Amino acid sequence: MATLDLFSLEPAQPANPAKLRLLALRDQLHHLGHAYYVLDAPLVPDAEYDRLFQELQALEAAHPEWVTADSPTQRVGGQALDVFVSVRHAVPMLSIRTETDTESTGAEAFDARVRKELELTPADPPVEYVAELKFDGLAMSLRYENGVLVQAATRGDGEYGEDVTQNIRTIGQIPLKLPAGVPPVLEVRGEVYMRRDDFEALNEKQRDKGGKTFVNPRNAAAGAVRQLDPGIAAQRPLSFFAYGLGEVVMAEQGGPAFSTHYGMLQTLKSWGFPVSALVDTAQGAPELIAYHQRIGASRDQLPFDIDGVVYKVNSLALQQRLGFVTREPRWAVAHKYPAQEQVTRVLGIDVQVGRTGKLTPVARLDPVFVGGTTVSNATLHNLFELRRKRVRVGDSAIVRRAGDVIPEVVGIVSSGPRTSYVPNFRMPRACPICGSTVVREKTEMNHRCSGGLFCSAQRKQAILHFAQRRAVEVEGLGDKLVEQLVDTNVIRTLPDLYRLGLTALASLDRMADKSAQNIVDALEKSKQTTLPRFLFGLGIRHVGEATAKELARHFGTLDAIMDASEEALLGVSDVGPIVAKAIRTFFDQPHNREVVEQLRACGVTWPEGAAADAGPKPLAGKTLVLTGTLPTLGRDAAKDLIEAAGGKVSGSVSKKTHYVVAGTEAGSKLDKARELGVAVLDEAGLLELLK
């Protein structure tokens, strides 16, 4: 059976080659966009899509008279509006009756009402239904004329909505152009929503810049849809599911024929609309109940919020026969689940220290059942979020929990009666775990513990960072092993790593004698390192590999770095005020200095001062670029050799590049080198150069 091409070109082709190319690009980009946004199966790398998109933009810029509403470039580009225009729905967007009984009896009651209206007896076969998710988003009507999206409107009061076409165009899942054969006028009804991961990322970005955060994904989606500036709307990650039809005007020669609601959904899917994969048919009340329970059990694992499921009589003929009552269809009902937001009392505000040292205020709550579990603690994210929400002990707070998202306080209902004044919450000046100084940079919203090496809350993160490949490199010391060592209290501080014996390691679960010996050998090998690697491994905030190298080059010894003033640190290339303060704060903590001294006492060492700079520097002042796979040297090893010889390794080729070292499967960097006349070496050539 041939595969339907949703975006094939129309048969009549203009003679102009540029316009032919423009139409072909639009067709290709529509096809690629459908695969990416709807099917979740990208066909080309992002860079290739961007290249095609930019080519189309250039053609349209050269020929503005060829720009049409269905072009992929028109997803974003409309002017900001002063106000939304009111739109009258050709077919009213009616609401569905809600069954608030969250038990199985809710489905039984709906089935009983349907059977009664259809005058069915117990002897008659069960009614066939379609069961769908009740998305917690914003209802939307999409109007297509001759296969092109011309209008998107909100539900509003059901009869009148608002024209939000410019904003809806920014949603990649919504097709701007439909395939040949669709009705000349087609209104598709569905739900605009925001995925939970997109919602969390949006709120985190807002918190980082001190902006407004959103209560829940539905509010965030509604706010994005009603942005007067489509450029802002485009920055809010929205998604869409189709679930019904509004006005449909068929062509004279007829149109798609379907007799069931389920068949209609599959037709919408074939036209390029996203339809939930969890839509199913159900025979009678027992299968409706099973669907409600099945979705309820997996509700927390869904990537988006729902607040129930929807049952609809599948037969369109029976839907028409059942009709409506008080503007609600008799043939459909929404069957709810327990709410994911509840109100409870704030009993106290504690502070938790995360694995990266971030301090988070957490509300201690009067336990409340929300989102399928009992919640007694909820995050307040940071001090500024807490103040914005005006949370104090004794308040009645709205608590939200959805899926795997950490429960959070999203707002305050009221301040409870207080017998005495409750002061505003203040962040502690010392870490509640280790007593180190708490710091907050002016450009950040978060407070952090500065005792990274010593603080037990950060222990796992500190060890993993120290042992990684670009730091001191302890081969074989991965996440699971570190977690086991810390959780069983085998190691409490970083120097404990070097006190590990074969017996202690071999006693761990699933640790064979040979594996234990490999770890012991790797730890012994890691004791011989370099000052830049050791500095980077300490995990000082803002000190990456490049900065660690500059510090080592400038000061020569670790002691000189630890004792350097902020003014002296500012004299180092690549070190500004924020980095200098972070380094000074780190080494001002006695705990951190103690850990460093213990590591040195355990035998961790490196060449310092003159010894570090000893030996020839044949690549001093030279810039090299690595590309492809070398026969024996890993990229990191090659980089270390080049830098030890005084050279600099760059990520891109330019006229300032002295050599490109190319291995197998070298890519565009090799082409660029040849184009610019840059000398190209293989591994043997590099090793010869290093002698």
Per the DSSP assignment, residues forming a β-bridge with 142 are: 152, 188
Distances (CA, A) of 87 to 99, 160, 162, 568: 30, 5, 6, 66
Give per-residue pLDDT as tens, 544-601: 988 999 999 899 999 999 999 999 999 998 899 989 999 999 999 998 999 999 999 9
Give per-residue pLDDT as tens, 211-241: 778 878 888 888 888 888 777 788 888 999 9
CATH number of 456-611: 1.10.150.20
Q: How many CB atoms lie within 10 A of CB 193?
A: 25
- Sequence-ordered list of residues with C-beta below 8 angstroms from that of 377, at least 6 positions apart, any chain: 350, 362, 363, 364, 365, 407
Is the domain 616-690 a CATH 3.40.50.10190 member? yes
Distance CA 54, CA 453 (A): 48
Q: Which residue has the tokens 């355990």?
A: 602
- Sequence-ordered list of residues with C-beta below 8 angstroms from that of 110, at least 6 positions apart, any chain: 99, 285, 288, 311, 333, 335
Question: Where are the CATH 3.40.50.10190 domain residues in the chain?
Answer: 616-690
CATH architecture of 341-415: Beta Barrel (2.40)
Binning pLDDT at 50, 70 and 90, where does residue 83 land? confident
Distance CA 398, CA 627 (A): 54
Is the domain 17-74 a CATH 3.20.20.140 member? no
Strand 332-336 vs strand 328-329: parallel, antiparallel, or unpaired?
A: unpaired
Give per-residue pLDDT as tens, 39-65: 656 677 766 777 788 788 888 888 888
At residue 249, the 3 state secondary structure works out as strand
- Sequence-ordered list of residues with C-beta below 8 angstroms from that of 473, at least 6 positions apart, any chain: 467, 526, 529, 533
Question: Where are the CATH 3.30.470.30 domain residues in the chain?
Answer: 98-336
Tell me the percentage of the chain whose pLDDT exceeds 90.
44
* Cβ–Cβ under 8 Å, residues 215 and 397: no
Distance CA 549, CA 531 (A): 8
Nearest to 366 by CA among 388, 387, 394: 394
pLDDT of residue 403: 60
At residue 502, the 3 state secondary structure works out as helix
Distance CA 256, CA 558 (A): 76
- Sequence-ordered list of residues with C-beta below 8 angstroms from that of 476, at least 6 positions apart, any chain: 515, 518, 519, 522
At residue 425, the 3 state secondary structure works out as coil
- Sequence-ordered list of residues with C-beta below 8 angstroms from that of 546, at least 6 positions apart, any chain: 574
User: Would the pLDDT of 2 be above 60?
Assistant: no
At residue 250, the 3 state secondary structure works out as coil
What ranges in 390-487 are assigned the alpha helix state H?
459-467, 479-487
Nearest to 132 by CA among 332, 297, 403: 332
* Cβ–Cβ under 8 Å, residues 536 and 462: no
Distances (CA, A) of 510 to 151, 464, 513: 61, 20, 10
pLDDT of residue 95: 85
pLDDT of residue 254: 56
Nearest to 452 by CA among 481, 491, 419, 494: 494
Over residues 81-104, mean pLDDT = 84
Give per-residue pLDDT as tens, 475-527: 999 888 998 998 888 898 899 999 988 888 888 888 888 889 999 999 999 99
Nearest to 468 by CA among 479, 456, 459, 458: 479
* Cβ–Cβ under 8 Å, residues 192 and 225: yes
* Cβ–Cβ under 8 Å, residues 228 and 165: no
- Sequence-ordered list of residues with C-beta below 8 angstroms from that of 526, at least 6 positions apart, any chain: 467, 472, 473, 474, 604
- How far is C-alpha 216 from the geometric centre of its chain's CA atoms? 16
The HSE-up count of residue 575 (CA atoms within 13 Å, CB side) is 30
Secondary structure element (H or E) that encloses residue 32, with its range: helix 17-33
Residue 479 buriedness (CB in 10 A; 0-12 / 13-18 / 19+)? exposed
Residue 648: both structure tokens together: 């600099």
pTM: 0.56
How would you write 345-385 as a 3-class SS string?
A: EEEEEEEEECCCCEEEEEEEEEEEEECCEEEEEEECCCHHH
Question: Where are the CATH 2.40.50.140 domain residues in the chain?
Answer: 341-415
The letter for the amino acid at 254 is: G
pLDDT of residue 157: 81
User: Would the pLDDT of 99 be above 60?
Assistant: yes
* Cβ–Cβ under 8 Å, residues 384 and 445: yes
- Sequence-ordered list of residues with C-beta below 8 angstroms from that of 46, at least 6 positions apart, any chain: none
pLDDT of residue 359: 94
Over residues 313-341, mean pLDDT = 89
Nearest to 446 by CA among 544, 541, 364, 583: 541
Average pLDDT, the chain: 86
pLDDT of residue 214: 82
N residues, the chain: 691
Give per-residue pLDDT as tens, 107-145: 999 999 999 999 999 999 999 999 999 998 899 999 999
User: Would the pLDDT of 616 be above 80?
Assistant: no
Which stretch of 70-79, 92-101, 152-161, 351-360 has the lowest confidence by average pLDDT? 70-79
* Secondary-structure breakdown of the chain: helix, strand, coil percentages, each rounded to the nearest 5: 40, 20, 40
At residue 491, the 3 state secondary structure works out as coil
Question: Where are the CATH 1.10.287.610 domain residues in the chain?
Answer: 17-74
pLDDT of residue 422: 72
CATH of 98-336, one of 3.30.470.30, 1.20.1640.10, 3.40.1210.10, 3.40.50.300: 3.30.470.30
Active-site positions read 134
